[in-house]
Amino acid sequence: MYVTTAIVSGAVALLTAPLFDGAARKVRAIIHSRKGPPIIQPYIDILKLLGKEDLRCTPSTIFRFAPAVALASFLIVAGLTPIGAGGLGRYGDMIAWVYFLTLGAAAIMLMAAASGNPFSNAGAAREVMMLLSVEPVVVTALITAAIKSHSLRLVDMVTANVAGGPSVSMVTAGIAFFLALQATMGKLPFDIVEAESEIVEGPLLEQSGPNLALLKMALLVRQVVYALLLVTLFCPWPIVEPWPVAGLAALVKVLVLFVVAAVIEAVSPRMRIDRAMTYMGRILFVALAALAFAVIGV
């Protein structure tokens, strides 16, 4: 049962992530008053990349295997997400959720540094600084849920949230998580890591061909995973019973989130890194307020 849920979660995250990206691109195109690519364009891009030449700028093994490690880590995180019975949630709790995401990010940073390109190094440094600014918000929101549910396991948190109904602390934590979602997804105005016109795609720069396809898939899965946690943990209503239907409902909500993110992306310029850090600091106050509410018991 757990194994099935885990495999299905991972597979669904992997296979639907490009679809969400395609929908986001379509929405952005509509705002830009153009027709835009078809919704399945990301799939076509990935398939094309899988066949292209793999250009290696360094013989380093880290450079070669890091995209696969990153994708694997994010798939594990997808398996840990509490849909239905919770998949891998039987073996890992919220701390594992946060740290496997960090493992994937670390894999990307190591890959960027291994390439030896200064643009990639700058991108890796920016990734770290964005992590330092954004992850505290995510973690504080999760700790709020843990305090409310008296458990570190994600499934217990969902159960407690569903049973208790919307509470002040969980709603505030959800708002903080949503405000941080744009940054965790790496979309404008927070696409500082892959700043196309500044550091030429940063960590992605020296990757090509199949490794680039894996890396793109990894980044898309990461976006889906963050959105998935927001909808399953902080916004589980309406509650539907058999877990495949619950999963579908979650995916619909994730689609809504991606559309909202695309709208914000289309109308925003990029923030400078230090401005982004102070902005995230302000969002951290919202998250800390949620934590304070949870400690009080509201």
Partner 1 sequence: MIGVYVEIAFVLLLVGGIAVAAARSWKAAGWIATVFTGAATVLAWIAGVSVLTSGQTAQAHVVGLPRFGSELAVSLDPLGALFLLIITAVSFVATFYSVGYMGIYRSESPARFYGLLQVFVAGMVSVVCVADWLFFIVGWELMTLASYFLVTFERSDPKAVRAGFKYFVMTHVATAGLLVTAVVLWRATGSFSFAAHTAGLGDLGSGLRNLLLALYLIAFATKAGIFPLGDWLPDAHPAAPSGVSAILSGVMIKLGAYGVIRVFWGMLPSAGTRAELMTWGVIIAAIGTLSAFVGGLTAMQQNDSKRLLAFSSISQTGYVFLGLGIGIAFWGHASLGTLALLGLLGAGFHIINDATYKSLLFMNAGSILYSTGTRDLNKVGGLSRVMPIASAAALIGALSLAGLPPTNGFASKWVIYQSSMSAGLRFAPFVAAAVIAFFVSLSTLAYALKLYNTAFLGQPARGEPIPLPRTMTVAQASLALCCLAAGLAPFWVLGVVGRVFGAGLSQTFAISAAGGLRTPASGGAMAAVWSPVVLFGSLIVCFLIAELIRASGQAQTRAVPNWYGGEEHTDDEVRFRAHGIYSPFNAAFENIYPHLPIPRLPSLSKARAVLDLDSWLYDPLVRVGGRAVDKVSRSHVGIPQLYMVWQAAGMVIVIAVLVWVVR
Restricted to residues 173-212, the positions that interact with partner 1 (CB under 8 A) are 200, 205-206, 209-211
Q: Is 28 helix (H, G, I), strand (E, B) or coil?
A: helix
Helix 61-80 vs helix 2-31: crossing angle, to nearest 10: 100
Q: How far is the CB of 22 from partner 1 (least distance, A)?
A: 19
Q: Which of 16, 41, 102, 159 binds partner 1 (CB under 8 A)?
A: 102
| Among the residue ranges 25-33, 148-156, 163-171, 246-254, the one whose residues contact partner 1 (CB under 8 A) | 148-156
> How is residue 244 written in tokens?
């495949």
Q: How far is the CB of 171 from partner 1 (least distance, A)?
A: 19
Does residue 227 contact residue 120 with C-beta atoms inside 8 Å?
Answer: no
Q: CA triplet 8, 223, 77: central angle to 5 degrees?
A: 45
The answer to whether the bond into 189 is cis (omega within 30° of 0) is yes
Q: How far is the CB of 222 from partner 1 (least distance, A)?
A: 14
Please report whether residue 57 would count as binding partner 1 according to CB under 8 A: yes
Please report whether residue 216 would count as binding partner 1 according to CB under 8 A: no
Q: Quick one: 147 or 185, whose CB is closer to partner 1?
A: 147
Q: Please count the residues of the chain.
A: 298
Q: Which of 29, 139, 171, 179 binds partner 1 (CB under 8 A)?
A: 139
What string marks each residue from 226 to 265 as x (binds partner 1 by CB under 8 A) or -? ----------------------------------------
Measured in whole angstroms, how far is the alpha carbon of residue 170 from the centre of its chain? 20
| Residues of this chain, 259-278, that bind partner 1 according to CB under 8 A | 273-274, 277
Q: Quick one: 249 or 286, whose CB is closer to partner 1?
A: 286
For residues 256 and 59, give the distance between their C-alpha atoms in angstroms, rounded to a whole number.
42
Which amino acid belongs to residue 99?
Y
Of the candidates 262, 275, 99, the residue with the CA atom closest to the CA atom of residue 192: 275
Please report whether residue 43 would count as binding partner 1 according to CB under 8 A: no
What string marks each residue from 60 to 99 as x (binds partner 1 by CB under 8 A) or -? x-x--x-xxx-xxx-xx--x--------x-xxxx-xx-xx
Please report whether residue 51 would count as binding partner 1 according to CB under 8 A: yes
Q: Quick one: 36 or 210, whose CB is closer to partner 1?
A: 210
Q: How far is the CB of 251 from partner 1 (least distance, A)?
A: 20
* CA-based R_g, the chain, Å: 19
Does residue 138 contact residue 286 with C-beta atoms inside 8 Å?
Answer: no
How many other CB atoms are there within 10 angstroms of residue 46's CB atom? 18
